[in-house]
């Protein structure tokens, strides 16, 4: 059993795979639960239940354990009412059940001010920014990448500059983007675009170059020429890898989201997160972060399933 689990590059059977996959989520959750629910693990604070005679204590207050202990001693020596409290974690680490509840209540809590947005509205804003940034980037980068991977002349023409540009951090263009595009969604889309585009051209051109050259040779001996080589061999030959690249790059686009949304007027999920942190509703902050993860993972899984449908030759093609 043990040696089977750790066999080098051997696939586990399907039952084991599912179990281990569940474990990958379960382990962090268990660690989090232990820290939250076992009083002697960490818990550096004390939540006051009865303030006693300590003047600045009040019920529900979080106090550093050391301060609490000294106050208790002071009260004992002065023979006043002794305060009492329970071990607690800092406010920035809510327990799992609090975050779980927040996953629901965050959607149902009305915004504090009239002009503020509900969580689902904020999320929708974020998704639109990501979508447009990624789509515009892909529309330009994929053709350029394919050209660069197919024709050496385009590779030399595009790639040296792109290699240089991709080292420039996208957020560095924030101020510039605001100056040019205003303060609303446009500069945010631009940051996602800058963060994705340059990597995308290089990734796509690399994928294109990996196409087995003997397929091109075979096509040429069958009479394929120039454009038909490109459209009938190169593109269908790389499309499955291209699709995988795009899935990975979409994840990349998400990582630029938070920075992008801080530019100009703060908006979307980032606005929600900063706002909730300001109100010290950290369970909502965690809930929002988890929602981003869920959206990302779900989109990726949907795309993976779609890939299987669109490319029926994919299955097992890696082996062939």
Partner 1 sequence: MSQLELPSYLDQSEEVKDRFDRMKDRPVTLQVKNLQKEFDSPQGKVTALKDINFKTYKREFVCVIGPSGCGKSTLIRILAGLETPTSGEVLLDGKAVSAPGPDRGMVFQGYTLFPWLTVKKNVMFGLEMSGHGKTSSEEQALQWIDLVGLSKFANAYPHQLSGGMKQRVAIARALANQPRILLMDEPFGALDAQTRAKMQSYLHEIWKNIDVTILFITHDLDEAVYLADRVLVLKAHPGEVQEVIEVPVPQPRSPDQLLSPEFLATKRRLEELIHPKEEEAGINEDQLNMVRMVDVNNEVESVF
* b/e 209-237 (16+ beta carbons within 10 angstroms → b): eebeeeebeebeeeebeeeebbeebbbeb
Of 60 and 213, which CB lies nearer to partner 1 in the complex structure? Answer: 213
Alpha carbon separation from 205 to 139, 158, 228, 269 (Å, rounded):
14, 10, 19, 33
Q: Which of 212, 226, 278, 309 binds partner 1 (CB under 8 A)?
A: 212
Contact range with partner 1 by CB under 8 A, out of 41-49, 153-161, 232-240, 266-274: 232-240
Binding to partner 1 by residue 73, rule CB under 8 A? no
CB 191 within 8 A of CB 256: yes
Q: Considering the complex, what minimum distance in angstroms separates the CB of residue 317 from partner 1?
A: 5
Task: Look at strands 84-88 and 45-50 and give their pairing.
Answer: antiparallel
Binding to partner 1 by residue 313, rule CB under 8 A? yes
Of 35 and 229, which CB lies nearer to partner 1 in the complex structure? Answer: 229
Q: Considering the complex, what minimum distance in angstroms separates the CB of residue 238 from partner 1?
A: 10
Enter the DSSP assignment of 85.
E
Enter the DSSP assignment of 173.
G
Q: Considering the complex, what minimum distance in angstroms separates the CB of residue 176 from partner 1?
A: 42
Q: Which residue has the tokens 């009305």?
A: 110
Binding to partner 1 by residue 214, rule CB under 8 A? yes
Q: Considering the complex, what minimum distance in angstroms separates the CB of residue 9 from partner 1?
A: 21
Binding positions for partner 1, 149-178, rule CB under 8 A: none
Q: Which of 140, 168, 172, 222 binds partner 1 (CB under 8 A)?
A: 222
Q: Considering the complex, what minimum distance in angstroms separates the CB of residue 236 from partner 1?
A: 5
Q: Sign (positive/negative) of CA torsion 111, 114, 116, 117? A: positive
Binding to partner 1 by residue 60, rule CB under 8 A? no
Whole-number Å distance between alpha carbons of 307 and 301: 10
Binding to partner 1 by residue 215, rule CB under 8 A? yes
Binding to partner 1 by residue 28, rule CB under 8 A? no
Q: Which of 96, 237, 296, 307 binds partner 1 (CB under 8 A)?
A: 237
Binding to partner 1 by residue 219, rule CB under 8 A? yes
Whole-number Å distance between alpha carbons of 266 and 184: 9
Q: Which of 35, 224, 259, 290 binds partner 1 (CB under 8 A)?
A: 224
Task: Look at strands 84-88 and 62-64 and give their pairing.
Answer: unpaired
Tokens at 176, concatenated:
């510039």
CB 79 within 8 A of CB 53: no
CB 191 within 8 A of CB 177: yes
Q: Considering the complex, what minimum distance in angstroms separates the CB of residue 310 from partner 1?
A: 11
Of 11 and 113, which CB lies nearer to partner 1 in the complex structure? Answer: 11
DSSP alpha helices (H): ranges in the chain? Answer: 2-5, 14-37, 65-77, 96-108, 119-150, 152-165, 174-181, 185-209, 213-221, 226-229, 235-255, 257-262, 268-278, 282-310
Number of residues that bind partner 1 (CB under 8 A): 27
Binding to partner 1 by residue 295, rule CB under 8 A? no
Of 179 and 317, which CB lies nearer to partner 1 in the complex structure? Answer: 317
Q: Considering the complex, what minimum distance in angstroms separates the CB of residue 303 from partner 1?
A: 19
Q: Considering the complex, what minimum distance in angstroms separates the CB of residue 239 from partner 1?
A: 7
Whole-number Å distance between alpha carbons of 241 and 185: 31
Q: Which residues form the interface with partner 1 (CB under 8 A)?
A: 212, 214-215, 217-225, 228, 232-233, 236-237, 239-240, 311-313, 315-317, 319-320
């Amino acid at each position: 059993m043990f040696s089977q689990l750790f066999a080098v590059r051997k696939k586990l059977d399907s039952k084991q795979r599912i179990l281990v996959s569940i474990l990958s989520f379960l382990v962090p959750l268990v660690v989090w639960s232990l820290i939250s629910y076992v009083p002697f693990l960490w818990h550096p604070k004390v939540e006051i239940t009865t303030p006693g005679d300590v003047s600045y204590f009040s019920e529900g207050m979080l106090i550093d354990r050391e301060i609490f202990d000294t106050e208790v001693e002071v009260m004992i020596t002065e023979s006043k009412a002794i305060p009492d409290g329970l071990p607690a974690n800092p406010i920035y680490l809510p327990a799992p059940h609090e975050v779980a509840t927040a996953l629901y209540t965050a959607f149902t809590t009305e915004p504090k001010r009239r002009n503020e947005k509900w969580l689902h509205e904020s999320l929708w804003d974020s998704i639109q920014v990501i979508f447009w940034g990624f789509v515009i980037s892909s529309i330009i980068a994929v053709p350029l990448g394919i050209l660069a991977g197919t024709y050496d002349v385009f590779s030399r023409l595009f790639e040296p500059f792109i290699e240089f540009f991709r080292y420039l951090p996208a957020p560095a263009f924030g101020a510039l983007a605001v100056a040019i595009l205003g303060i609303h969604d446009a500069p945010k889309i631009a940051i996602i675009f800058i963060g994705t585009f340059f990597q995308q051209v290089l990734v796509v051109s690399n994928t294109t170059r990996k196409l087995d050259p003997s397929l091109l040779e075979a096509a040429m001996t069958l009479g394929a020429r120039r454009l038909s080589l490109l459209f009938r061999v190169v593109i269908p030959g790389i499309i499955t890898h291209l699709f995988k690249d795009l899935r990975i790059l979409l994840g990349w686009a998400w990582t630029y989201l938070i920075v992008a949304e801080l530019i100009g007027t703060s908006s979307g999920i980032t606005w929600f997160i900063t706002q909730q942190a300001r109100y010290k509703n950290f369970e909502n902050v965690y809930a929002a972060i988890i929602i981003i993860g869920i959206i990302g993972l779900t989109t990726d899984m949907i795309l993976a399933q779609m890939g299987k449908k669109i490319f029926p030759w994919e299955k097992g093609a890696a082996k062939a």
